[in-house]
C-alpha cells in the first residue's frame, strides 16, 4: 500500500467473497472512518462530503471484491431486507394530512406579487410533484419529536418544522427553474418548463422570487441556528452549480469533484433540512448529527440513482429530458466508472446502495417509531425508483 491510500497493485488483490480479508483491506485505505464490521461494507464519505476512498480505482476495487456478491441482485444481503420487515408500507400515509396543505401554504407565501410573477412562481406548485423532500423532512421531524420525548405518541409536527418542510420544497423548486435555464431544458415534470413557456429572463426572476420568499419564511422561524443551517443550503447550491461548470484533469480528483458537487447540489438540502427540524425538536447533538447524516446519505443515493436513470430511462417516464448530462458534457458516476473499463451502471448502483445502507444505520439509532421505519422504507424506495 502506497502512501496517501493508493493501491500499489490491483492485480495481486483478490478476496472474492472472503469478507474478513476484504474488511481488513478496506481498513487500510479508509483514512477517516472505520469499516462497518457487522455489514462488511466501508463507509464511503466523511461528514464534510469528501470521499474517504481517495481514488476511483479504490471504489471499483471495493465493489469488485467487497461487493462481488452485492452486484448480483438475487444474492446480495442488504440491510434493507431485514429492516423492511418492520417498516411501514407507505411513508406518505404518515404525513398525508400535513402534505395536503403544502402547496397552498407555499402559494400563500408567493401571493403578494404581480399577477404574471405569481403565475410563474406558482407554476410547479400544483400538487402533482413527488414532494419527496418535504415528506422526508416531515417524517424526520416527527421521528425526532418522538425520539426527544421517548414516546411514540409525541409525533405532532411543530409549526416551525412544517415551515422548514415547505421551505425545502421552495428552494428545491427554485433550483429546478434555474437549472432548466442553464440546461436549456424544454420540459419539467411532463410539461413545458418555465423557461420554455415564458422565456429565460422570466424564469430567472421566478426562481429568484421563490428563493426570496423562502428566505422571508425562514426569518419568521426566529431561530438563529436554524437560519444558519438553511442558509448553508443556499451557499451550497450556488457553489455546487459552479463546480458543475468545471471539472478536474486528474481522474481521481474528477471523481471526488463529482461527489462534492453531488452533495452541494442535491444532498445538502436534505441533510440540512433534516438537521434543522432535529434542532427544533430539541434533540441532543449526537441525534442531530445522525439525522443530518441520514439526509446526507439518502440525498447522495437519490442523485446517484438520478444519474443512473439519465442513462437507462426515457423522457416520457422521467417527465424531463434524459441523457441531458451527456449532452452538456457532464461526467456523472456511470461515465466515470465506465471510463475505467468497469460496469458503470452496476458500480453506480453499488455506490448508491452503500449510501442507502449508511442512511439506514444512522436513522436506526433514533427511538423506534413508525416514522423512523418510514424513513428506512424511503431509502429502499430511492434505490428502486423508476423516475
**pLDDT of residue 5 exceeding 70:** no
Collapsing DSSP states into helix, strand and coil, what is residue 191? Answer: strand
Residues 44/53, Cβ–Cβ less than 8 Å: yes
Residues 161/221, Cβ–Cβ less than 8 Å: no
Side-chain-side CA neighbours of residue 328 (13 Å): 20
Q: Give residue 127's pLDDT band: very low, low, confident or very high (50, 70, 90).
A: confident
C-alpha cell at 163: 415551515
What's the whole-model pTM score? 0.80
**pLDDT of residue 323 exceeding 50:** yes
Other Cβ atoms less than 10 A from the Cβ of 332: the count is: 21
Q: How would you write 314-347 as a 3-class SS string?
A: CHHHHCCCCCHHHHCCCCCHHHHHHCCCCCHHHH
Cα separation, 323 vs 310, whole angstroms? 5
Backbone angles phi, psi at 106, to 5 degrees: -70, -40
Residue pLDDT, tens place only, 52-75: 444 566 666 665 555 443 333 333
Cα separation, 356 vs 160, whole angstroms? 28
Cα separation, 315 vs 274, whole angstroms? 31
Q: What is the CA radius of gyration of the chain?
A: 21
188 bridge partner residues: 191
Cα separation, 242 vs 244, whole angstroms? 5
Backbone angles phi, psi at 216, to 5 degrees: -65, -45
Architecture of the domain made up of 89-384:
Orthogonal Bundle (1.10)
For the chain, domain boundaries:
1-77, 89-384
Residue pLDDT, tens place only, 92-106: 999 999 999 999 999
Q: Give residue 152's pLDDT band: very low, low, confident or very high (50, 70, 90).
A: confident
For the chain, the first-to-last Cα distance in angstroms comes to 41
Give all strands (DSSP E) within the chain, no chain letters: 187-188, 191-192
Residues 51/333, Cβ–Cβ less than 8 Å: no
Helix (H), strand (E) at residue 9: none
Name the residue with higher pLDDT: 29 or 95. 95
Amino acid at each position: 500500500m502506497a502512501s496517501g491510500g493508493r493501491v500499489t497493485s490491483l492485480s495481486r488483490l483478490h478476496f472474492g467473497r472472503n469478507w474478513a480479508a476484504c474488511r481488513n483491506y478496506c481498513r487500510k485505505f479508509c483514512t477517516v472512518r472505520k469499516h462497518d464490521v457487522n455489514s462488511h461494507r466501508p463507509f464511503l464519505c466523511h461528514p464534510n462530503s469528501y470521499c474517504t476512498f481517495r481514488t476511483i480505482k479504490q471504489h471499483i476495487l471495493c465493489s469488485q471484491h467487497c461487493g462481488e456478491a452485492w452486484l448480483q441482485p438475487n444474492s446480495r444481503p442488504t440491510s434493507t431486507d431485514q429492516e423492511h420487515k418492520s417498516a411501514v408500507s407507505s411513508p406518505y400515509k404518515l404525513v398525508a394530512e400535513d402534505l395536503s396543505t403544502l402547496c397552498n401554504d407555499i402559494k400563500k407565501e408567493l401571493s403578494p406579487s404581480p399577477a404574471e410573477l405569481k403565475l410563474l412562481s406558482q407554476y410547479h406548485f400544483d400538487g402533482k410533484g413527488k414532494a419527496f423532500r418535504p415528506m422526508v423532512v416531515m417524517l424526520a421531524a416527527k421521528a425526532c419529536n418522538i425520539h426527544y420525548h421517548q414516546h411514540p405518541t409525541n409525533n405532532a409536527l411543530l409549526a416551525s418544522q412544517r415551515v422548514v418542510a415547505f421551505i425545502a420544497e421552495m428552494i428545491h423548486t427554485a433550483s429546478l427553474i434555474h437549472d432548466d435555464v442553464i440546461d436549456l431544458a424544454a420540459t419539467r415534470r411532463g410539461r413545458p418548463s418555465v423557461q420554455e413557456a415564458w422565456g429565460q429572463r422570466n424564469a430567472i426572476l421566478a426562481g429568484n422570487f421563490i428563493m426570496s420568499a423562502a428566505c422571508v419564511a425562514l426569518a419568521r422561524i426566529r431561530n438563529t441556528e436554524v437560519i444558519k443551517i438553511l442558509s448553508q443550503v443556499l451557499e451550497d447550491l450556488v457553489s455546487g452549480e459552479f463546480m458543475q461548470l468545471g471539472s478536474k484533469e486528474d481522474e481521481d480528483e474528477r471523481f471526488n469533484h463529482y461527489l462534492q458537487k453531488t452533495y452541494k447540489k442535491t444532498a445538502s438540502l436534505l441533510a440540512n433540512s433534516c438537521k434543522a427540524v432535529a434542532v427544533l425538536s430539541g434533540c441532543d447533538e449526537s441525534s442531530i448529527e445522525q439525522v443530518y447524516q441520514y439526509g446526507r446519505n439518502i440525498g447522495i443515493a437519490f442523485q446517484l440513482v438520478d444519474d443512473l436513470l439519465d442513462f437507462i430511462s426515457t423522457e416520457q417516464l422521467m417527465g424531463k429530458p434524459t441523457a441531458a448530462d451527456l449532452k452538456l458534457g457532464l461526467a456523472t458516476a456511470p461515465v466515470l466508472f465506465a471510463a475505467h473499463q468497469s460496469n458503470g451502471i452496476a458500480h453506480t448502483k453499488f455506490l448508491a446502495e452503500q449510501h442507502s445502507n449508511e442512511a439506514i444505520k444512522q436513522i436506526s439509532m433514533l427511538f423506534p417509531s413508525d416514522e423512523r421505519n418510514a424513513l428506512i422504507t424511503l431509502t429502499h424506495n430511492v434505490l428502486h425508483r423508476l423516475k
